[in-house]
């Protein structure tokens, strides 16, 4: 099935679906006042085509000053504290902290792509061990997230830098010499005569060409043949990538010792030796296999005599990335990752030969621009067409990651993260609590188990189902109980009575059954055509009449002789607010502690 664009207003359910998948939080007003009235293309333009501000630099909680550019630490301060501060800062960006209302969703949508890149070109905090490297890698991803928008400019520089080509292929080049990536995959150990293949192996298997469609791979006919590339290619690529090491020993980014990428103006790794004598780089030709035929040799115009230079070593990496991206399977692998991230984990051979093929062609034809492919996918009928209960998987087809669960929940209730410039303590307290709760639910942010990243985004065949086991599901339910409970000391606590007062018309809020249906429609992605009438229940609603009655019974007080009439009187009169609040707390607990609420 081709990616045909949907050309009609989204409506309520589709708007919810879009914002659940491509932001980290939205409000009921966002849906009702704006997005349900937009076509997908109009909505995507609003989300991905705004000129957005660069985020403020993270602030050192001990000095109240930034440290990533200045290098200013407090006396005897350990970098581990600042690594945690960076992670909290990133959560604040996901939650669009400090942004005006008209930019929050677009900002969050950009951060969703930054997060995708973090799950793709992964990192491990413990292995990198440097807060500034983590930050500058994150800044690199943000620079390339919206790669069909104008590139950054640097008006303060006396000499304009070379133009930056924004696309996923060029990002792959930049990542290959990024300090955090060099540290993660032992690039500093990869030298002429003693190659280390860790990064080259993951570059092929995880970050670019992949190893074909999982579950449908043909048997290899020889050892070291991975069907789309061979062991020979890993070995040759390791030699291309040789001679680089981290460069983190600098004070400010104006320090002469820092190596700045001339196009991004971000710190990167450096060659061993010096720029005119890259002594650790293997300068001999590298011959690749028949799976990706080609030879990579140093450009003689970039050599210093017969010695490799920093520029010649970089040019070899560009040749390597060109060779990899010339293989059609590379575009398909990246597009499979996008499809699983935004749509559904299962990719059948039929989907691979149609939808993925079309995405890959668009990706290649756009010059490998990620934004183009994402926008086309999110505007397509395929993204929106499924209906619960009829064998489709789009709505509620992805289990929320712990971070998404926590941020979407607090965002749905209108809880915002304070601006770090005005309330740094609360900023770090709330973002730290979000990370802590996600960790308790099984997501150790920036600390995946291995270099492949979080299992939900790569582990065939379970993918996102890896987020759920008995213990983690219980902890998800505990999270809901804690934020709804009025006695909780959680900084994420919500006021359910005020939420209903602010977001639900009195005519609906005052009718217990209508209120249950209204809240199910907002919070549960598999709810549609809801009714309390068992005879009228069409069987594809996602939430049966029987379950709606269960929610209603938990919600209403047993002590009232006519519970529904008592609720109406309580709500419309405004008398008995404490009792109404307790009832709403029971309702929100039972709705949000459901399997359906774990889905998006």
19-56: pLDDT as tens digits: 999 999 999 999 999 999 999 999 999 999 999 999 99
Task: Write out the two tokens for 61.
Answer: 């909680």
Query: How far is 82 from 59, CA to CA, in rounded Å?
Result: 9
Convert the pLDDT of each residue in 457-489 to its tens digit: 999 999 999 999 999 999 999 999 999 987 778
* Mean pLDDT score across all residues of the chain: 95
**479 part of a folded domain:** no
Q: What pLDDT shows up at residue 389?
A: 39
Domain that holds residue 525: 502-600
Convert the pLDDT of each residue in 326-374 to its tens digit: 999 999 999 999 999 999 999 999 999 999 999 999 999 999 999 999 9
Helix H or strand E segment including 274: strand 273-274
Over range 181-198, report the average pLDDT: 98
Q: What pLDDT shows up at residue 386?
A: 45
Q: What pLDDT shows up at residue 395?
A: 87
| Residues 111, 24 contacting (CB under 8 angstroms) | yes
Handedness of CA 381, 15, 343, 392 (dihedral sign): negative
Q: What pLDDT shows up at residue 392?
A: 52
Helix H or strand E segment including 87: helix 79-94
**509 part of a folded domain:** yes
Over range 155-177, report the average pLDDT: 96
Cα atoms found within 13 Å of the Cα of residue 315, Cβ hemisphere only: 15
- Which percentage of the chain shows pLDDT scores above 70? 98
Which residues have a Cβ under 8 Å from the Cβ of 490 and sit 6 or more positions away?
Answer: 433, 482, 483
- SS3 string, 425-448, reads HHHHHHHHHHHHHHHHCCCCCCCC
Convert the pLDDT of each residue in 49-77 to its tens digit: 999 999 999 999 999 999 999 999 999 99
Which residues have a Cβ under 8 Å from the Cβ of 293 and sit 6 or more positions away?
Answer: none
Over range 283-288, report the average pLDDT: 98
Phi, psi of 236 (to 5 degrees): -65, -40
Q: Where residue 218 falls among pLDDT bands split at 50, 70, 90?
A: confident
> Counting Cβ atoms within 10 Å, is residue 172 exposed (0-12), middle (13-18) or buried (19+)?
buried
Q: What pLDDT shows up at residue 390?
A: 34
| Residues 432, 439 contacting (CB under 8 angstroms) | no
Q: What pLDDT shows up at residue 559?
A: 78
Query: How far is 479 from 473, CA to CA, in rounded Å?
Result: 10
**397 part of a folded domain:** no
Do you find a cis peptide bond into 461, omega within 30 degrees of 0?
yes
**544 part of a folded domain:** yes
Over range 419-444, report the average pLDDT: 98
| Residues 372, 49 contacting (CB under 8 angstroms) | no
Q: What pLDDT shows up at residue 219?
A: 84
Q: Does 391 score more than 60 pLDDT?
A: no
Q: Does 524 score more than 50 pLDDT?
A: yes
**562 part of a folded domain:** yes
Over range 252-281, report the average pLDDT: 96
Q: Does 193 score more than 90 pLDDT?
A: yes
Over range 387-398, report the average pLDDT: 61
Q: Are strands 286-287 and 277-278 parallel, antiparallel or unpaired?
A: unpaired
Over range 494-500, report the average pLDDT: 97
Name the pTM for this structure.
0.97
Task: Write out the two tokens for 172.
Answer: 């792959």
* Cα 350 to chain centroid, rounded: 27
| Residues 4, 381 contacting (CB under 8 angstroms) | yes
Long-range contacts of 227-231 (CB under 8 A, 24+ apart): 227/291, 228/291, 228/327, 228/329, 229/204, 229/289, 229/291, 229/292, 229/327, 230/289, 230/290, 230/291
**534 part of a folded domain:** yes
Q: What pLDDT shows up at residue 37?
A: 98
Looking at the structure of the chain, the number of domains it has is: 1
**571 part of a folded domain:** yes
| Residues 328, 352 contacting (CB under 8 angstroms) | no
Closest CA to 129 of 491, 400, 446, 378: 446
Place of tokens 């984990």: 345
Q: Where residue 393 falls among pLDDT bands split at 50, 70, 90?
A: low
Q: What pLDDT shows up at residue 388?
A: 37
Q: What pLDDT shows up at residue 529?
A: 85
**596 part of a folded domain:** yes
Q: Where residue 234 falls among pLDDT bands split at 50, 70, 90?
A: very high
């Amino acid at each position: 099935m081709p990616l045909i664009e949907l050309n009609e207003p989204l409506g309520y359910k589709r708007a919810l679906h879009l914002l659940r998948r491509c932001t980290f939080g939205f409000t009921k007003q966002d849906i009702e006042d704006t997005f349900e009235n937009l076509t997908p293309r109009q909505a995507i333009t609003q989300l991905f085509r705004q000129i957005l501000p660069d985020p403020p630099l993270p602030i050192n909680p001990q000095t109240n000053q930034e440290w990533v550019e200045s290098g200013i630490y407090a006396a005897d301060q350990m970098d581990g504290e600042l690594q945690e501060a960076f992670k909290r800062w990133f959560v604040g960006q996901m939650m669009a902290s400090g942004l005006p209302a008209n930019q929050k969703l677009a900002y969050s949508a950009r951060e969703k792509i930054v997060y995708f890149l973090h799950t793709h070109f992964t990192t491990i905090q413990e292995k990198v061990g440097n807060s500034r490297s983590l930050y500058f890698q994150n800044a690199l991803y943000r620079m390339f997230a919206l790669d069909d928008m104008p590139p950054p400019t640097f008006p303060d520089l006396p000499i304009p830098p070379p133009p930056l080509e924004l696309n996923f292929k060029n990002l792959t080049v930049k990542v290959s010499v990024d300090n955090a990536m060099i540290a993660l995959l032992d690039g500093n150990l990869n030298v002429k005569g003693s190659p280390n293949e860790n990064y080259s192996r993951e570059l092929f298997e995880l970050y670019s060409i992949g190893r074909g469609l999982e579950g449908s791979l043909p048997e290899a006919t020889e050892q070291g043949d991975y069907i789309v590339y061979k062991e020979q290619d890993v070995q040759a690529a390791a030699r291309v990538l040789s001679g680089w090491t981290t460069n983190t020993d600098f004070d400010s980014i104006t320090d002469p010792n820092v190596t700045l990428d001339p196009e991004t103006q971000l710190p990167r790794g450096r060659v061993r030796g010096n720029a005119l004598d890259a002594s650790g780089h293997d300068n001999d030709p590298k011959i690749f296999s028949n799976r990706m035929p080609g030879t990579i040799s140093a450009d003689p115009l970039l050599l210093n005599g017969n010695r490799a230079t920093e520029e010649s070593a970089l040019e070899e990496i560009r040749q390597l990335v060109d060779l990899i991206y010339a293989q059609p399977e590379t575009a398909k692998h990246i597009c499979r990752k996008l499809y699983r991230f935004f749509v559904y984990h299962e990719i059948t051979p039929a989907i691979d030969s149609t939808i993925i093929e079309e995405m890959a062609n668009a990706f290649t034809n756009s010059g490998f621009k990620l934004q183009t492919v994402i926008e086309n996918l999110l505007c397509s009928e395929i993204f929106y067409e499924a209906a619960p209960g009829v064998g489709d998987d789009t709505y509620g087809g992805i289990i929320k990651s712990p971070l998404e669960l926590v941020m979407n929940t607090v965002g749905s209730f209108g809880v915002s993260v304070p601006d770090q410039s005005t309330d740094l303590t609360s900023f770090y307290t709330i973002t730290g609590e979000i990370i802590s709760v996600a960790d308790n639910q099984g997501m150790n942010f920036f600390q995946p188990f291995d270099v492949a990243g979080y299992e939900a985004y790569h582990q065939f065949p379970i993918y996102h189902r890896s987020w759920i086991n008995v213990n983690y599901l219980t902890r998800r339910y505990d999270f809901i109980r804690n934020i709804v409970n009025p006695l909780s000391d959680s900084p994420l606590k919500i006021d359910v009575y005020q939420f209903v007062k602010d977001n639900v018309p009195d005519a609906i809020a005052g009718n217990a059954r209508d209120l249950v249906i209204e809240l199910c429609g907002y919070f549960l992605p598999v709810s549609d055509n809801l009714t309390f009438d068992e005879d009228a229940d069409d069987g594809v609603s996602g939430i049966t009449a029987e379950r709606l009655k269960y929610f209603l019974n938990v919600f209403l007080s047993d002590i009232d002789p006519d519970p529904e009439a008592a609720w109406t009187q309580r709500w419309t009169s405004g008398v008995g607010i404490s009792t109404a609040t307790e009832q709403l707390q029971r309702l929100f607990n039972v709705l949000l502690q459901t399997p359906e609420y774990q889905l998006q």
